[in-house]
Structure 1
Amino acid sequence: MKKEFGIVVLSSILWLVGCSDHQENSQKNENSSTEQWSMQPKQEAKESIMWSSENNEVQLTPKTKVSDGFSGATVAVNNMEKEFNWDFTSITEPQVYYTDLTGDGKKEVVVIINTGRGTGLTTEEVHVLNSEDLSEINVQPFEDIISNHFGSHITKKGENLDIQVIVQGTEQHLNVVAQDPLVEQEHLNFGGVVYYKLDNQKLTVVLGTSVGVSPQYVGDVYITYQFDEAKNEFLAHQMKFVPLNK
């Protein structure tokens, strides 16, 4: 049974200074900076720009430099290379890994790219490639996982919000003072903070949950993936909700 939930639509993001504390704690190796968005002609990326896995088995080279990042990229591994139509920002460098993520004894290429960054917002994509032919292995979208395994309901009590969260049948309650006294919504929002991490050959996505148009983050949902050999897909295996400031 599907649960109702809110999704923050990122139709456009300006690269601004001063991300929220939640965002700063979520991202590693990122420095605060002011980025002024401006229209500039597209140009081919310099050949010297390249990112590699730890031991240089995999190389990721951007194709075209655009005003806010790069459009298109080439992945090279095992004397093969393939071009992908990935768009990503230049604010955060891509993460490139070469590891056995499926558990079959063969290593896969894993690329994590930043697709949007702004005040209180940061979004990433993950791409897992078969290193034998560079075909992409599907990773279950977080929207599908939230829709089927996460439920929330918000009750407003004066300036306070009573938030009920249900994750895989486990219920939690938290009480939050609303930063915006006019906020009106029944369910938590998702989509403003989405970042992936790879740890001990496990892929996890962390989702910020928020209320309000100017997002007030109240907690994080951690989803750990597991490879389904029959479906040739990474599916949600474990989920947990962790309230902020608790």
Structure 2
Amino acid sequence: MKRFFVCLLIMILVCQTGKVYAFQRIVTSHIISNVWYENIFLIADKVDSMATKNFTVQVGELLYNFPNWYNSKFAPKLFYEDINGDELKDVIVALISGAGSGISTKEIHVLNHVNDPYTRYEEVPVESINDALKRLVKMERKGDEITVLIGNKKYVVDYLKFGYQYSDDPPGVGSREDYKPKNGVLYGYTTVFVSIPEAGIGSLKVKYGWDGKMYKAESVTFKKEPFKITTH
């Protein structure tokens, strides 16, 4: 156990030097608990000054490798919360798949906590925000009015009231995204925009539920103002 923490400390110190070496392993995000077996570290190879790849999730002494994970910029978001109602905390990782002017797209990964009878973590599928919106939301534009249809609910937005430079482009989604758990539920967020991502006219909030095989969008709500999100 002592050796484990010494190795971990070395990794953290290397991370803070700011020097880049080939295949340098760094801690990109972490959650420290009062009990050692709930300490969580997200470890990856440093590609350049911002990007990381080839991730390892460490929970206590358990290690899970994900060689195909990639984070383009800033630090990934890491959460530890029960989101499927089994009273076992799950690991949620939100990687940044794209970042730039008006852009912040995310890639979500969930490791369900399983105890059968030994503790382990198992990555399970999560429906992406884009796939959920294609399935549950319809949008159309007539003149300056943009209509958002979600089930039996209809929302109408006047594009001109936002004061953006005029554009007759149709509404779009997906350039700004975020995922985070709240009160035991996983949510996804994105902005509805016209022409360019900065021209936000509203936001969509996706509520996820566990169906026994994957986290799938159960409902979507629309708010008539842009979703403000940070890139890191």
TM-score with structure 1 setting the length = 0.71
Cα offset, 1:60, TM superposition: 0.8
Query: Which of 191, 208, 218 in structure 2 is aligned with 1:208?
Result: 191
The 5 A counterparts of 1:186-197 are 186=170, 188-197=171-180
1:184 pairs with 2:168: yes
- Cα distance in 2 for residues equivalent to 1:226 and 1:195: 17
Cα offset, 1:134, TM superposition: 3.4
Structure 2 segments unaligned to the other structure (5+ residues):
1-19, 114-118, 227-232
**What do residues 29-81 of structure 1 show as CA deviations (whole Å, max 9, x unaligned)?**
xxxxxxxxxxxx9732344x342224152211112323541112111124221
The amino acid of 1:179's aligned partner reads Y
- Cα distance in 2 for residues equivalent to 1:197 and 1:234: 13
- Indicate if the aligned counterparts of 1:63 and 1:74 stay in contact, CA closer than 8 A: no
- Cα distance in 1 for residues equivalent to 2:22 and 2:181: 32
**What do residues 190-212 of structure 1 show as CA deviations (whole Å, max 9, x unaligned)?**
11101112211211111111110
Match of 1:147 in 2: 134
Match of 1:170 in 2: 153
- Cα distance in 2 for residues equivalent to 1:123 and 1:114: 6
Match of 1:112 in 2: 94
- Cα distance in 2 for residues equivalent to 1:197 and 1:108: 12
Distance 1:190 1:214, change over 3 A: closer
Alignment identity in percent?
Answer: 21
Match of 1:5 in 2: none
**What do residues 104-148 of structure 1 show as CA deviations (whole Å, max 9, x unaligned)?**
122211112222221111111221013444331111122221112
Query: Which of 19, 26, 29 in structure 2 is aligned with 1:51?
Result: 29
Match of 2:71 in 1: 88
- Whichever structure has more helix as a proportion of its residues is 2
- Cα distance in 2 for residues equivalent to 1:153 and 1:54: 46
Distance 1:80 1:46, change over 3 A: closer
The amino acid of 1:143's aligned partner reads N
Distance 1:224 1:100, change over 3 A: same
Match of 1:243 in 2: 224
- Cα distance in 1 for residues equivalent to 2:176 and 2:57: 26
Question: Aligned residues, how many?
Answer: 195
Distance 1:50 1:192, change over 3 A: closer
Query: Which of 44, 49, 55 in structure 2 is aligned with 1:73?
Result: 55
The amino acid of 1:119's aligned partner reads S
Larger RCO, structures 1/2 (Cα 8 Å, 6+ apart) = 1
Moved over 4 A (4+): none
CA RMSD of aligned residues (A): 2.2
